[in-house]
Structure 1
Amino acid sequence: MRLFFPLSLRIWGGQMDDWSVIGAELTEREVQLSFQHKEDTKLFGQATIDLQWGVATEFTTPWEQMTLQDVKSSWD
């Protein structure tokens, strides 16, 4: 469920977050975020945010990988 609420992912650098976003690559349909662990700066992760639907389609850290796929709306 976390992928449906990307602003709740603990990557934005807030006080309770484990990660900080360090880079972003924007395409027409999505943004690819790179982030670094706040305490162990040797650890990195990435997330892909679908700009049309406002959901994360991928979230990867050294110990976790989540992928959202095959989600269709009744509007298509």
Structure 2
Amino acid sequence: FDPFFVSEGIYVTMDGGTTWTGNDTCTGEPIAFHNGDPGIAIDKNGTFILVRVGDPNFFPGVFSHYSTDNGVT
């Protein structure tokens, strides 16, 4: 457990919620020092877009992560 590691992840289901796949940590830089406030959208082409706020002391700003394969990666 690292109290300074905060991240977001995405899980998806393709069978109505019976099983879920995903990861607790989004890929891309920076993967640590998140400050929360995640938001997610899915566009008409199935692109998942997750936005979140960076830690103002290390990585200030708004960051986005995306998946173009319905959230599989």
Q: Please indicate, yes or no, whether the TM-score normalized by the shorter chain is above 0.5.
A: no
- Structure of higher RCO (CA pairs closer than 8 Å, 6+ residues apart): 2
Give the TM-score range, shorter chain. 0.3 to 0.5
Higher strand share: 1
More helix by share: 1
Q: With structure 2 as the length reference, what TM-score do the two structures score?
A: 0.40
Instruction: Give the TM-score of the pair, scaled to structure 1.
Output: 0.39
